[in-house]
Structure 1
């Protein structure tokens, strides 16, 4: 057990240049959050749900990190700083790094039956600060998610995801009218049915602008000889 702890602390030191010693790493909120989660997860597996939630509540109060007792977390998990939320059915592989203010959030089952509704992060994934990973999607091995990115689709192995997903759905409100949509994010996305038409329209506008620019250039080239002849007179 001691060797396992040393190996874990060294894995964090490899990813974070800030600590000067292993003792300093022991003060990290992410280390304590993982310690409490191991206890809560063991209680959760024994169906001692209230005690598991109690440990989770204490951990959240101490570390500002909320990891549901049902979440499954692999080896050498590094949570750098706090204010992160990890949902019940999230599955995190080995050597995963998550920075501050990240959400591994879930979707609401339309049939009311709870199931796999939170993300799966495979081995060696890195999640940047402020990223929102929503739904029962898979982030492939060695993938990277940039800061403040919003991800609601599967991420291929080794890919890097950046940017915001948010945009107008152009869907009537009654289509998505439900009592509750977790995180305000419908993940099935029957959105932007006319996106192809919009793309064609934008391409036409670009072509028209290019034509206007070329015409202005040609007009300027035609004026230059007249200006030069006027100067020589």
Structure 2
């Protein structure tokens, strides 16, 4: 018992740099209080003392703002940071070394009596406000971004963001063999679209950005293949002469961007001009 308590307290020190000493963690961390009370209520639940277990769970919710059903199964070194608004359903299963931030819901999508809540495997991190809904598994070491809504199984090591949740990173990086895209360049982009436990960062991917990136990757792959074809032709036919491609100037792109930026400003003036012209025609 005391060994498990020490493990739980040490997990707070490992994952919260604000924790200063043993007494502070034991007396001022609602996530730890909710976990300890849940361990007791879960024992009562398994002993078929259901009313007493639910009553203790209700008291824990009133005390900590964290609602954990006594039927939920929680592993070792579980840590809830801040904790307010966390809800964990009856058939939820949480592995070892899992971290939840405030506002997380491990909920169900049906009223069936059976398994209806998610299973979080070891080492999962769930960002603030995320909702994981349904009887599926979130793989070992996966990360769920803040405010994400996840309703499908998540593979091990993946990072999921958005509504609905989309995978932006996998444990094994996607190979670039099919498109001949530089894997280091793709990995740099992947790191840019990383996990964020709080809020939405400026670098979160959006559908337009992802579509443009896909087109640029395709253009890069086509260019690389054409270059290899030209090299092969030069080896086969020494008289082959390759034409030079037109140069892309930065000034051309700058003009396009400037025009795009000026378009919203021109719209009101054009409308006013048209109205003035109509007034002159009426006169």
Q: Determine whether 1:10 maps to 2:15.
A: no
Quote the residue 2:160 is aligned against: 161
Report the equivalent of 1:231. Answer: none
Structure-2 separation of matches of 1:39 and 1:89: 17
Partner of 2:89: 87
How many Å apart are 1:4 and its aligned residue? 3.0
1:8 positional shift: 2.0
- Distance in 1 of aligned mates of 2:6 and 2:47: 28
Structure 1: state its 5+ residue gaps: 167-201, 207-216, 221-233
SS in 1 for 2:33: helix
Which has the greater radius of gyration? Answer: 2
Whole-angstrom distance in 2 between the partners of 1:7 and 1:67: 20
SS in 2 for 1:18: coil
Structure 2 equivalent of residue 52 of structure 1: 53
Q: 1:83-108 CA deviation, whole Å, 9 max, x = no partner?
A: 10000000000000000000000121
RMSD: 1.9
Q: How does 1:26-175 map to 2 (within 5 A)?
A: 26=26, 27-81=28-82, 82-109=84-111, 113-165=112-164
What is the number of equivalent residue pairs in this alignment? 168
Checking the alignment, whether the CA contact within 8 Å between 2:142 and 2:158 is kept in structure 1 is yes
CA contact (8 A) 2:12 2:19 kept: no
Deviates further, 41-50 or 133-142 = 41-50
C-alpha distance after superposition, 1:106-127 (max 9, x if no partner): 1214xxx410000000000000
Secondary structure in 2 aligned to 1:12? Answer: helix
In structure 2, how many angstroms separate the alpha carbons of the residues matched to 1:147 and 1:44? 32
Q: Deviation digits for residues 188-214 of structure 1, max 9, x if unmatched?
A: xxxxxxxxxxxxxx99xx9xxxxxxxx
- SS in structure 1 opposite 2:58? helix
Instruction: Please report the TM-score for the alignment, with normalisation by the length of structure 1.
Output: 0.69
For normalisation by structure 2, the TM-score amounts to 0.57
- Structure-2 separation of matches of 1:51 and 1:64: 19
Aligned-residue offset at 1:49 = 1.0
* Structure with bigger RCO (C-alpha 8 Å, 6+ apart): 1
Cα deviation digits, residues 121-147 of structure 1 (max 9, x gap) = 000000000000000011000000000
Post-superposition Cα deviations, 1:161-196, rounded to whole Å, max 9, x if no partner, equal 001119xxxxxxxxxxxxxxxxxxxxxxxxxxxxxx
Q: Deviations over 1:39-91 (max 9, x none)?
A: 11111111111101100110000000000010000000001112100000000
Counterpart residue number, 2:239: none
Q: Secondary structure at the match of 1:154?
A: coil
Q: Distance in 2 between matches of 1:56 and 1:2?
A: 21
* C-alpha distance in 1 between matches for 2:157 and 2:17: 24
Shift in Å at residue 7 of structure 1? 2.5
In 2, the alpha carbon distance for the partners of 1:154 and 1:69 equals 24
Question: Whole-Å Cα distance in 2 between the matches of residues 147 and 77 of structure 1?
Answer: 19
